Every structure is written in structure tokens, then in C-alpha cells.
Amino acid sequence: MSSSIPKQPTRRDLLKRGAIAAGSLATLGLGPSAAEAAKASSQKWDHETDVVCVGSGAAACAAAVTTVGQGAKVILVEKMPLPGGTTGKSGGVTWIPNNPFLRARGIHDEKGDCLRYLARYAFPREYTPHSPTLGLDPHDYRLLETFYDKGSQMIEHLGKLDAVHFREFKMWFVDKYAPDYADHLPENKVSRGRALEPAAGAGSSVGGGSLASQMEKWLAARKMPILLEHRVTRVVKDGERVVGIEAVHGDKLVRIKARRGVVFGTGGFAHNTELVGLHQPGLYGACAMPGSTGDFISIAGAAGARMGSLNTAWRTQVVLEEALQNRAIGMGAFVLPGDSMILVNKYGRRIVNEKINYNDRTQVHFIFDPVKKEYPNQFQFMIFDGRSLDAFGGAFPIPADRRASPHLIEGASLAELSANIAARLDKLQDKTGGFKLEADFASQLADTVGRFNGYAQTGKDLEFERGVHDYDKDWQALFSPVRKGSSQPANPMPNVTMHPFTEQGPYYAFILAPGALDTNGGPMINEHAQVLDTNGKPIPGLYGAGNCIASPARGAYYGAGGTIGMALTFGYIAGLHATGVAA
């Protein structure tokens, strides 16, 4: 997760920059050798280069910058009218183990310990601590080992190239290094300090406030073309080797030759409803840019690629009614604000620690009841009172002004709130599979609130351990500061993540649904970021990184910036390998 959403450059600015970069195609001096010309005599290429990078987010840009840093030429191809991808919406927080900043502070993020954390979180069923591969398939183990080995090198390499400089990410309200998302696991020996951010500052005007835009500017300054509104439709092969791509630009087919390789960093498929319906347990909306439609899955499949898991994602809860209006949501319900706030299911019962990280919390939606043959948590209800509305208004999804939130449900009492939730669900039944509350929801909700109030008084959540671990408390402080002008005092309870509900209403609710930042499944890669064929062998000249490939982390979100850390690292590896450097 990013620390903030940076200000975006205007379309005019970026198109102007893209046009300037594209204009440099004529001056690249990339004429093929005589042997290459003879080999490609039957092909007609519109452009030629060493490496084509498809996409313009963290993965593709890291590959492009690394390629150019090795003295090679690159063309960046993006199907959207604006570069940056989903990375461009973020503040660029980047999770990297054993990073140079940890080492500078004398903190040793030992490889064996870190790999146990990575494996335990990503592969809990397979994890065997005394196995040479920690119980993992050797292929999966090598990917995690490579991430550990190369992530820190990538950070240093981008800095040496003067493309991006990083600093340690600190939680500004509490002035602490961010705790990992599973900081409490015994395998996690270095639970803080792995999250970094661009040194220019997430969200600042320096460097565009965007990790992707800094790398794009670096490429543009070196006259590397950035072709916008070019949708890649297939890779071109010469025998078994990928030698280029075909893209559609308007009504024109554009063919680009890649002498050394093609790297895909095109994002996931969160906005491809057909693929979501086939492979995801539930995904109503995503923070991903609208271009995240899984193009690489069909392109790689046609090239003979082997598919990995397609049911994984970087998950977050979303406000259902907002997502039903537009799948491309502006903000997920990442860290739920409020202390007098709970999540309940259709039975009016709590089902999770409301302060646990958004990726893991969202997976509670998918629990199946084998007796009743239902998903009782398919939709969840964020219940809170006037204290939380007043104290934390403006911390998404709690509105600063309740009148400005059409999705907020209100009731003078818990019983009235329950009736109004039921009425809202009735209006949405055509889009929710007829999901309804159970008949005793109101009475169960009253009992649930009563139990929670007792936990808040004692400071101990006997059901879900809310507020026990550092993650809960630190991210609560960061995302739930009492707003300026609130009439509410600071929480005096022994556990600052919990406060009793007020005895009198009004009370409020949002309907939450499972969503995502983006999916993270697709073709399988090896430790060199090469895409594998159906026999598990590398497809020469074809690489993948980021959300368009089967993530080495599977469904585990290690810490803030876990998505971008993986994307940058394997993009860097792809750029090195494509240019002949042993990554």
C-alpha cells in the first residue's frame, strides 16, 4: 500500500512528453546487421530496438531503465493514453528485504530468517522449516530466494543510475518504521524497516510524486521512445524465440522488432470481468487502472506459456455500492478507521480482527459454510457510531460530511440501522445474487455490540485479538488520527483500537465487498524473469514481471509496498538478463 496518492501529471503534459520521446525513433540508429537483415527479410518492421518493454508501471519501467543502463536501446509501449499504470496512482512505497538502509543502521536481515518469513506467509500449507527448500517446490523457493538476493541490488542500481533514489518509509503520525503485515509471525525477525519510498517523497511535487514518472522522465531524457495508446496484441516469434511484438495504434498495426527480448509488465486482470468470473473467488472493484485487463494472459498463452495460479490477488475491501457504479474505484477500504467500529456478517456477528491488514482481512469474504451451502461473509457490514463519525470523519470510508456520502446507511437505533441495511440490500438484489440479512440480524448485532463494548472496556478482544500486535496499533494511529475540529476526546481505553459504542444512536453502516489493488496471477517465470513454456522451459526472448505474471508471493502481502517491491525487482532482473548480464 502506498503512503499517499500523488498528484498526477496532466494528459497534455504526458502526451507532449510521449510525443517527444516517440519522435526520437527516427534518430535511434538501430539499423540491423547484415545477418539480422537477411534473417528478417520476410518481416516488415515499423521500428527496431534491443528490448521492448510493454507497460509503463514499476515492472516495465524498471526493466527499461536497467536495459538502458547496460548500454542497450529500449522502446516502452503503453496501451493507455497516460503512462504510469497503477504504479502512477501510488506513492511508490517499495518493500525490499535486507535493503541498504537496514544494513546502514546495523540491522542484519539474515537470508535464512527472511526466507522463512517469506515462505511461511506465502505457502502456509507447504511450509516446513527444516527442509532445504522450506517445504516449497524448488521453483517457488528459487523465486523467493531471488527476490531476497536481488531486491537490494535493484535499489542500489537504480540509485547509481540516478533514475530513482529511495529512503526509508516512516509512518508520519507515529514517526516509526512501518511494521510488516505479518509482524507477529515468529519467523519475522526484522519486522520493521523493509518498506522504502522514493526519496523525492511520496505525493510530493518533486519527481512528479510518482515512482513510475521518475523512471519515465529518466528514459525520456535519454531519448528512449515511450509509445502511448499502442495496445500489444501478440508477440512475434522466429522459431522458438520471441523477436518482437505487434500492437494496434488507432486503426494501424505497428510491428516492433526486439533483438534481445520483450518484457511484459502490463498489470493484472482486475477489470476483465470474464477472467475475474472464471478465476477469482470474488472481486467487485479494484484500484488498478482501467487498462488492467489481463492482456498478457492470452498473448503469453498463444506463445506457448505455462500458466501459474490465476486465483490470487493483492486484495482489499471496497465499498460495494461505489464499486457497482464503477469497477475502477478511487480508493479501497485499506485500514478501516474508527475505534467504536466493527465488521459483521449477514448474521450480525463479528468475523475478523477489523484492524488486520487489508489483504488478509478481505479473504474472510470467501469462507464457505458447508452445512448451509453459503458464503455468510460474502458482504460485510462496517458498523460504527456517532463518535467514530465525528472523530474520524474524512478517513475513508467514513465521510467528513455524512450528507455527501450516498452509500452511508443510517439508523437512530441498532434495530433501525438493521432495517435500513436490509432495505438497501433489497434495492441491490439484482447485483448481489439476492443477498439478504438473516431474520435475527438486529438482535444478533445488539449482542455483538454488547460483547465488543465489554472488550473495549477491558482492552482485550477475546475473539480476534484486535489491538494485540504492533500492526494494529501503529496503522490505527496512522489512518485514524482524531480529526481537527472533532468534539471527541482521545481514546482513553486501555486498547486504543477499541472504544465502546455510544448507548444512543445514531448508528451508521457501509456495505463492504471483496476487491483488490489488482490481481497477481498469470504466466509462470523463472528466477531470470523468463516466461516458461508448458514444459517448464524458458521461452527465449520473453520476460514478465509485476502483476501480469504468477506472483512469487502468491497471496501473501509481506508489507507496505509488497506489490511494487516484487515488480521492480523482477523487472530489473529481466532487464539484466535480456541484455546478457547474469542477474
Q: Encode 451-508 in three state secondary structure.
A: HHHHHHHHCCCCCCCCCCCHHHHHHHHHHCCCCCCCCCCCCCCCCCCCCCCCCCCCEE
Residue-level pLDDT at 28: 40
| DSSP secondary structure of 9-29 | PPHHHHHHHHHHHHHGGGGS-
Strands (E), 59-132: 74-77, 94-95
Give all strands (DSSP E) within 30-182, no chain letters.
Answer: 47-54, 74-77, 94-95, 166-168, 170-171, 176-177
**Residue closest to 289 by CA, chosen among 82, 94, 559:** 82
| Separation of alpha carbons 100 and 109, rounded Å | 10
How high is the mean pLDDT in each 10-residue block of the chain (583 residues)?
Answer: 34 40 39 42 87 97 98 98 91 95 98 98 98 98 98 98 96 87 98 94 46 94 97 98 98 98 98 98 97 98 98 98 96 96 98 98 98 98 98 96 95 98 98 98 98 98 97 92 93 97 98 98 98 98 98 97 98 97 71
Pick from 507, 510, 476, 511: nearest CA to 388: 507
Amino acid identity for residue 314 in this structure: W
What is the H or E stretch that residue 154 is in? helix 138-160
β-strand pairing of 166-168 with 252-264: unpaired
- Architecture of the domain made up of 45-90+217-315+517-558+571-578: 3-Layer(bba) Sandwich (3.50)
pLDDT on residue 18: 39
pLDDT of residue 242: 98
Torsion of CA 549, 553, 557, 559, to 10 degrees: -110
pLDDT value at position 43? 76
* Residues whose CB falls within 8 Å of the CB of residue 68, separated by 6 or more in sequence, listed in order: 74, 219, 222, 224
> What's the CA angle centered on 66, arms 92 and 178, to 5 degrees?
25
Q: Where are the domains positioned within the chain? A: 45-90+217-315+517-558+571-578, 94-198, 330-515
pLDDT in the model for residue 200: 80
Q: What does the alpha-carbon distance between residue 518 and residue 445 come to, in Å, rounded to a whole number?
A: 33
Return the pLDDT at 201. 52
Distance CA 204, CA 262 (A): 33
Calpha distance 405→328 (Å, rounded): 18
Q: What is the pLDDT of residue 91?
A: 78
User: What pLDDT shows up at residue 226?
Assistant: 97
d(CA 494, CA 456): 8
SS3 316: strand
DSSP string for 366-396: G--BTTTTB-TTSSEEEEEEHHHHHHHTTST
Fold classification of 330-515 is Flavocytochrome C3; Chain A, domain 1 (3.90.700)
Q: Three-class SS of residue 527?
A: coil
pLDDT at 581: 82
Cell of 145: 530466494
Contact in structure between 575 and 63 (CB atoms under 8 Å): yes
Nearest to 119 by CA among 85, 145, 89: 145
CA Rg value for the chain: 25
Of 350, 348, 341, 345, the C-alpha closest to 445 is 348
How far is residue 498's CA from residue 508's CA, in Å, rounded to a whole number? 17
Dihedral sign for Cα atoms in the order 185, 281, 266, 16: negative
pTM of the predicted model as reported, rounded to 2 decimal places: 0.92
CA–CA dist 371, 349 (Å, integer): 18
What one-character DSSP code corresponds to residue 3? Answer: S
pLDDT at 90: 83
